[in-house]
Every structure is written in C-alpha cells, then in structure tokens.
Structure 1
C-alpha cells in the first residue's frame, strides 16, 4: 500500500512538471520566435534496481520547426533563413541565440533585441541618429543618407548569423538559447550560408490546440493519482481500525 502511494506521488510530481512546461508554452503563444519545449522521461532497463525511479532521467526536447511568418513592412524586423540564428549578448555579456528578429535601436544607438545587444561580425553595431536602415539578405546593415538630390548608402555593420548544433542547445530561464557544456564547439563562427529577409517576423511555433489537450490530459491523470492516494489512505485507516478491534 505504501508503495502505491509512493508511486502515485512520483507520478503526480512528474505531471506537475509537465504542466509547468505546457503552461510556459501557452504563455508564449504570441512571443516572436518562441520555440515550444517538451520533457521526456527516459527509462533504462535495469532489473537489479527495484526502485525504477532511479533508472529514469529527464531530457528536454525543443520543437525547432518554423512558426508562421508575419509581414510587418518594418525594415528593422527580419526572419533568419536556412535554420540560422541571431546572436545577442545576455545580461552577463555572454553570447546567446534567438529567433526573435524584432530589432530595436536604444537611446545609445545600439541595435538590440528585447533589450539585449545584437552581436555583429565585427563587434557592436551602432546606428547613426535619424538614419534610415536597410538590412540586406546577407545581414549587412546599411544607412541610407540623402545628399542633396541623391541617396547614398553607407555600410555601418553586419549581423553575426550562425548555424547551431541542435542536439547541444539548451534554453535558459531568460528565454535565450545557449550551447551546453557537453559540446566542444563553444565559439560558433559566422556562417556565410545563412540569409535574412527584412520586413517579416517569425511567430511562435506553439501548437495551442495540442498543448491544451495535453494540459487537460495531465490534469485528469493528476486527479487519478490523487484519488489513488486518497483510497490507499482510507484503506490504511480502515485496516488500523480493524487491527484495534481485534486487539
């Protein structure tokens, strides 16, 4: 009976963890470039160990498929093609990766994404005041300046675009992706094979219907485990009463 309660509690804890991930997915349905995630419990076949929970490990998977493409007609919005990623600096100055192509210019003239500095091929990218910006397909950023009756373009920087090893990507609590410690390739170089297209944004790839169905299913399984624990507790109480009567 105690084993049934123990197993039901373990199952309930796992379901709560899954619910947290699903809730995070649903909360980011409208987050540009968001990639939904899943947790899988992997079991090892070890008959010598009677506690099967010790043979389980949790592995997180990410759905890296593209979300829907939204046209914005904004020169500072872009999508990264060919499974490429944009590079930004997190709050600790470490390189991180994102699919969010909603670029902005802060008061200091830095090119940013969600407040994080965008990494260029040759360092930080500074945008001149009141400059009209054009981003080419190869990531080169040009400022369009009017000189009398003529328009001149000046290159002011170039985006660092990278191709990442998908099997070694992990997502931090800040929503950004990093290369995990198991990968030997920590410094990802710029890739010439990746292109961008401005005036568009990639939406979140969260499947709202599937996540809602999974949430309902997990909630029902959780209730079932709680019912099992309640029944076992009642049976133990009845058994104690019978034991007291016989004594």
Structure 2
C-alpha cells in the first residue's frame, strides 16, 4: 500500500510543477523576448535497504524553447529585436553578464541605456551611455547613434554598438529572473 501512495504522491507533485510551468508559459505568450519553459520528467529508483521496488518521478533540468517569435514593429526608437539567433547582453549588479532577447529599452536619468527592468545594456566596450535628452537610433547592425537636443541631424554620433552574443543553446541556463546565463559562469563569446 505504501508503495502506491509514494508513487502517486511523486507523480502528483510533478504534475503540479508541470501545470505551473504551462500556466507561466501561457501567461507570457505575448511577452516580448519570452522563452517558454520545457519540463521533462524521468523515473529514478530509490536507493536503500528494502526500497528496491520504489521509484520516484523527478524533473530533469528545465529547458527553454529557443525558437524566435514573431517580430512586431512598435514605432518606438528604443524597441529593438535580434533577427535570428543572438542575445542582447545586460550587466548584473555583481558585474557579471546575463543575456536577454527582450529589446524594449530606456535611457536612465544618468543617460545609461538599460532594459525596462533597469539593468544596464552592454555595448562592445562596456555599458552604453548618452547625454541626457539625446535622441537615439539603433541601426540594423546594432550601432547606437545619439543626437543631442537641438543639434542638426548631421551631428548624430555613434556612441557604441550593442554587445550581441550567440552561444549554443545547450550552454545557456535560465535564471530565476528570466535572464539566461552561461552554464560555465563565463561570459559568452561575442557574435
């Protein structure tokens, strides 16, 4: 009897975890840059005296659906999207890098280009910053151009290039914050 309860309890817990994952995926279906979480399960035998007939269900390392979603034109100069493979690089509070496909950007009060969550966006040479009040444009190649308030269009200057990386999907893992990081902990090579 206790074997059936144990097996049933293990299966029910994993079914609840799967339901939570599906609910999260559905809630974020229209979130820009979201990657659906994919859960897999497997049976693992319980090791111990007189437990040879017991097995429990465990989740394997969750994966993510890395397919690109549809691109939508927003008409906003600071909404960018990576066409095909590739990731934008953001700087975490500890100085490490994390990767995102979410390209709705903003300029902070200090002129720093950042995600809507307030994480600094990295360029090839570090965080990107512009003069407060500048008008920005991002080219198809990822170059960030700034035009100071009241300056003629010919005065637009390149302030940097977005740091784009393209690591193998197997090398990435999703963090609790929704950002991806290299499994090794190292920075991803630049694309």
Please report the RMSD computed on the Cα atoms of aligned residues, expressed in angstroms: 2.3
Q: Distance in 2 between matches of 1:57 and 1:30?
A: 26
Matching of residues 81-160 of structure 1 within 5 Å: 81-113=83-115, 114-145=117-148, 147=151, 151-160=154-163
Which among 53, 57, 60 is matched to residue 58 of structure 1? 60
Q: What SS does the corresponding residue of 2:40 show, helix, strand or coil?
A: strand
User: Structure 1 pair 38/107, CA: closer, same or farther in 2 (3 Å)?
Assistant: same
Q: Distance in 2 between matches of 1:39 and 1:188?
A: 25
Q: Distance in 2 between matches of 1:106 and 1:156?
A: 15
Which protein, 1 or 2, shows the higher relative CO under an 8 Å CA cutoff with sep ≥ 6?
A: 1
Q: TM-score, normalised by structure 2?
A: 0.87
Tell me how far 1:169 sits from its aligned partner: 1.3
Show CA shifts across 1:29-71 (max 9, x none): 23210000111013479xxx533328x5613121111112211
Show CA shifts across 1:4-27 (max 9, x none): 111111110111111121122123
Q: Distance in 1 between matches of 2:146 and 2:102?
A: 22
In structure 1, the residue matched to 2:69 is 67
Tell me how far 1:147 sits from its aligned partner: 4.8
5+ residue gaps in structure 2?
46-51
**Aligned residues between the structures:** 185
Q: TM-score, normalised by structure 1?
A: 0.68
In structure 1, the residue matched to 2:178 is 175
Q: Distance in 1 between matches of 2:61 and 2:177?
A: 19
Q: What SS does the corresponding residue of 1:69 show, helix, strand or coil?
A: coil
Q: Distance in 1 between matches of 2:83 and 2:89?
A: 14
User: Structure 1 pair 147/36, CA: closer, same or farther in 2 (3 Å)?
Assistant: closer
Show CA shifts across 1:112-132 (max 9, x none): 012100011001111112222
Which one has the largest radius of gyration? 1
Q: What SS does the corresponding residue of 1:14 show, helix, strand or coil?
A: helix
